[in-house]
Amino acid sequence: MTQKESNTINLEDTFFLYGRSSKYKYLLKLSPTTLTITTVSNENESRSLPLNNVKIIPIDDIYGCLCMKPLINSKQCYLTFYQYVLRPPQGFSGIFSKKPLLHRSQHIFSYGKYNDYDTNHAEVIRWHRHIVQAIYLRRNLPLDIVLTKRDKRALVFVNPAGGAGKAYRLVMENVVSVWSEAEFSYQIVITEYAGHARDYVQSLDLSEWSGIVIASGDGLVYEVVNGLFSRNDWQEAVKMPIGHLPCGSGNAFAASIIRHSKQPIAESVEKFVVQSAILIATHQVLPYDMAVIDTCDGQRVFSFLSVEWAVIADVDCDSEKYRFLGGTRFTVEAVKRILRPRIYTGYIDYLPYDVTDDTVQRNQITSDTTTAQLHHHLLPLNEPISVDPTTSKWRRIEGPFSYVLITSKSALSQDTVSTPQSTLADGYLTLQFIRIRGSTRLNLAKTLLSLSDGKHFEYDFVEWMPVRAFRIVPAATDGNLMIDGEKVPYGPLQGEVLPSIGRCMGKQPRVD
Ligand X SMILES: Nc1ncnc2c1ncn2[C@@H]1O[C@H](COP(=O)(O)OP(=O)(O)OP(=O)(O)O)[C@@H](O)[C@H]1O
User: Could you tell me if residue 362 is left (phi over 0), alpha (psi between -120 and 50 degrees) or otherwise beta?
Assistant: alpha
Site string for ligand X, 77-106 (x = CB under 6 A): ------------------------------
Closest alpha carbon to 402 in 289, 333, 313: 313
Choose, by CB under 6 A, the member of 123, 181, 223, 426 that binds ligand X.
Answer: 223
Distance between CA atoms of 294 and 473, rounded to whole angstroms?
12
- Residue/partner pairs of 171-176 with CB below 8 Å, 24 or more apart: 171/215, 171/245, 171/247, 171/273, 173/270, 174/270, 174/273, 174/274, 174/277, 175/215, 175/245, 175/273, 175/274, 175/277
Query: Which burial class, exposed, middle or buried, applies to 500 when counting CB atoms under 10 A from its CB (0-12, 13-18, 19+)?
Result: middle
Q: Which one, 163 or 474, has the nearer CB to ligand X?
A: 163
Choose the binding region for ligand X from 46-54, 211-219, 388-396, 425-433 (rule: CB under 6 A): 211-219
Q: Does 485 bind ligand X (CB under 6 A)?
A: yes
Distance between CA atoms of 116 and 112, rounded to whole angstroms?
8
For ligand X, the binding residues in 49-78 under the rule CB under 6 A are: none
CB of 306 to ligand X, least distance (A): 12
Choose the binding region for ligand X from 67-75, 187-195, 380-388, 439-447 (rule: CB under 6 A): 187-195
Query: H/E element holding 428?
Result: none
Helix (H, G, I), strand (E, B) or coil at 434: strand
Q: Which one, 26 or 157, has the nearer CB to ligand X?
A: 157
Q: Which one, 172 or 194, has the nearer CB to ligand X?
A: 194
CB of 154 to ligand X, least distance (A): 18
Q: Which one, 194 or 442, has the nearer CB to ligand X?
A: 194
CB of 378 to ligand X, least distance (A): 26
Number of residues that bind ligand X (CB under 6 A): 21
Q: Does 218 bind ligand X (CB under 6 A)?
A: yes
Choose, by CB under 6 A, the member of 250, 474, 479, 506 that binds ligand X.
Answer: 250
359 CB neighbour count, 10 Å cutoff: 11
Choose the binding region for ligand X from 49-57, 243-251, 393-401, 465-473 (rule: CB under 6 A): 243-251
Q: State how beta strands 493-506 and 284-294 pair.
A: antiparallel
Q: Are 302 and 225 in contact (CB under 8 A)?
A: yes
CB of 225 to ligand X, least distance (A): 12
Q: Which one, 194 or 335, has the nearer CB to ligand X?
A: 194
Q: Does 191 bind ligand X (CB under 6 A)?
A: yes
Distance between CA atoms of 436 and 12, rounded to whole angstroms?
68
Q: Does 322 bind ligand X (CB under 6 A)?
A: no
Closest alpha carbon to 419 in 475, 466, 385: 466
CA 414, 156, 84, 137: dihedral to nearest 10 degrees?
120
Choose, by CB under 6 A, the member of 194, 449, 475, 476 that binds ligand X.
Answer: 194
CB of 322 to ligand X, least distance (A): 10
Q: Does 341 bind ligand X (CB under 6 A)?
A: no
CB of 407 to ligand X, least distance (A): 16
440-450 vs 311-318: helix crossing angle, rounded to 10: 60
Q: Which one, 92 or 193, has the nearer CB to ligand X?
A: 193
Closest alpha carbon to 341 in 435, 475, 459: 435
Q: How many residues does the chain have?
A: 512
Site string for ligand X, 141-170 (x = CB under 6 A): ------------------xxxxx-------
Q: Does 192 bind ligand X (CB under 6 A)?
A: yes
> In the bound complex, which residue of the shown chain has the CB atom lying closest to ligand X?
217
Q: Which one, 101 or 161, has the nearer CB to ligand X?
A: 161
Rounded to whole angstroms, what are the CA distances from 304 to 38, 61, 92, 287? 47, 29, 40, 12
Q: Does 196 bind ligand X (CB under 6 A)?
A: yes
What are the two backbone dihedrals, phi and then psi, of residue 299, each rounded to the nearest 5 degrees? -85, 150
Q: Which one, 223 or 314, has the nearer CB to ligand X?
A: 223
Distance between CA atoms of 162 and 208, rounded to whole angstroms?
26
Q: Does 325 bind ligand X (CB under 6 A)?
A: no
**Residue 512 bears catalytic tag:** no
Q: Which of 13, 60, 218, 297 is catalytic?
A: 218
Q: Does 484 bind ligand X (CB under 6 A)?
A: no
Choose the binding region for ligand X from 171-179, 193-201, 282-290, 421-429 (rule: CB under 6 A): 193-201
CB of 193 to ligand X, least distance (A): 5
Q: State how beta strands 463-474 and 429-435 pair.
A: antiparallel
Site string for ligand X, 418-437 (x = CB under 6 A): --------------------
Q: Which one, 192 or 208, has the nearer CB to ligand X?
A: 192
3-16 in b/e form (b: 16+ CB < 10 A) is: eeeeeebebebebb
Distance between CA atoms of 386 and 91, rounded to whole angstroms?
63
Active site residues: 218
Binding site for ligand X (CB under 6 A): 159-163, 191-196, 216-220, 223, 248-250, 485
